[in-house]
Each structure stands twice: as structure tokens, then as C-alpha cells.
């Protein structure tokens, strides 16, 4: 990966819908080599996808909770079962496996406290391998998953 690839990535992280023509102009390439570079970055897994960034409050999911999870064990079966179950819960919008305690950090986006309480009792509290779960309510989000420094 060279400086031009990094420039392409910086621009696409900020504006993923940028046309190839505009992208090529901004990185000082002609359109064909620029498109080849973007396709190569996609094919090699550097670019893993494109998506719209949605305001959670605008779609009724402005109540965000951080959930800390500790498992009963660290064996492969317990970890696999837990991770597979979390993948099936749409309200969990991010899950990080941690080194040390807690074992996992989940970010949950729901409508309100009532919705979170229901989710906690009906789904999160029944996750396989769950030993301990604590939660913290996010007061404000002012810096979300942004661009990677390149």
C-alpha cells in the first residue's frame, strides 16, 4: 500500500459515495488507474464495505447502553456459543471481545429504558455462558466510530 492508496482510503472513509471521477481528480490519477486501485483495495479486504451512517435517535434507537459481560469460562465452545448468540440480537450494534475483564463489551441501541429492560431480561440475560453482566447508560455520543488515521 502506497501513499496514493492511503489517500484514496482517507477520502473514501469520509465520503464513501464519492464518484470515481472525483476521487481520481483528488488523488491526482486518471479514472482507470484509480478504479483499479479501489477494486484492488476491495478485493484484498482493505475496504470491507460501504454503508450509510444513520442517526440512532432519528430511527427510534437513541437510548444507548454499554454492557459489560463476563463468561463462565473461556473454552472454545463457550466463546463460540456466546458470540453466535450475540450475532442474532439486532439491538447489539457492536460487540468487542476484550483481553482481560470484562470478557466482552456490547453496545446496545434501543428506544428507551423499557426496551432495554425487556432486552436484558429476555435476550441478554439468557446468553449462553453468561456469568455476570453490568450496564452503563450512555449520556451523550459525541464521537462515534470514525475514520482510521492513515
Domain CATH number, residue 94: 3.30.70.920
Please identify which residue in the block is written with the cell numbers 453482566.
133
- Residue 111 belongs to some domain of the structure: yes
Q: Examine the domain organization and report whether 60 and 131 are in the same domain.
A: yes
CA distance linking residue 121 with residue 133, whole number of Å: 11
Q: State how many domains the chain has.
A: 2
Q: What is the pLDDT of residues 56-71, one digit of tens each?
A: 999 999 999 999 999 9
pLDDT value of residue 150: 87
Q: Taking residues 104-112, report their average pLDDT.
A: 97
| This prediction's pTM | 0.85
**Strand 92-97, strand 130-137: pairing:** unpaired
Range of the domain at 72: 56-137
- Residue 148 belongs to some domain of the structure: no
Q: What is the pLDDT of residues 10-32, one digit of tens each?
A: 999 999 999 999 999 999 999 99
**According to DSSP H, which parts of the chain are helical?**
3-14, 20-26, 31-43, 76-87, 113-122
Domain CATH number, residue 24: 1.10.10.10
Q: Examine the domain organization and report whether 63 and 132 are in the same domain.
A: yes
- Residue 50 belongs to some domain of the structure: no
Q: Examine the domain organization and report whether 60 and 133 are in the same domain.
A: yes
- Residue 123 belongs to some domain of the structure: yes
Q: Examine the domain organization and report whether 105 and 32 are in the same domain.
A: no
Contact (CB, 8 A) for 24 and 30? yes
Distance (Å) of CA 11 to CA 5, 14, 43, 95: 10, 5, 18, 27
Amino acid at each position: 500500500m502506497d501513499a496514493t492508496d492511503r489517500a484514496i482510503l482517507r477520502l473514501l472513509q469520509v465520503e464513501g459515495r464519492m464518484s470515481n471521477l472525483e476521487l481520481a481528480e483528488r488523488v491526482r490519477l486518471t479514472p482507470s488507474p484509480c478504479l483499479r486501485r479501489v477494486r484492488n483495495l476491495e478485493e484484498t479486504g482493505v475496504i470491507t464495505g460501504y454503508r450509510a451512517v444513520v442517526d440512532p435517535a432519528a430511527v427510534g434507537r437513541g437510548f444507548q447502553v454499554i454492557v459489560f459481560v463476563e463468561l463462565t469460562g473461556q473454552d472454545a465452545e463457550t466463546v463460540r456459543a456466546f458470540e453466535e448468540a450475540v450475532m442474532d440480537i439486532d439491538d447489539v450494534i457492536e460487540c468487542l471481545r476484550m483481553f482481560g475483564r470484562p470478557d466482552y463489551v456490547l453496545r446496545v441501541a434501543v428506544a428507551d429504558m423499557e426496551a432495554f429492560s425487556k432486552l436484558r431480561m429476555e435476550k441478554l440475560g439468557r446468553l449462553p455462558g453468561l456469568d455476570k453482566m453490568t450496564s452503563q447508560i450512555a449520556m451523550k455520543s459525541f464521537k462515534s466510530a470514525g475514520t482510521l488515521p492513515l
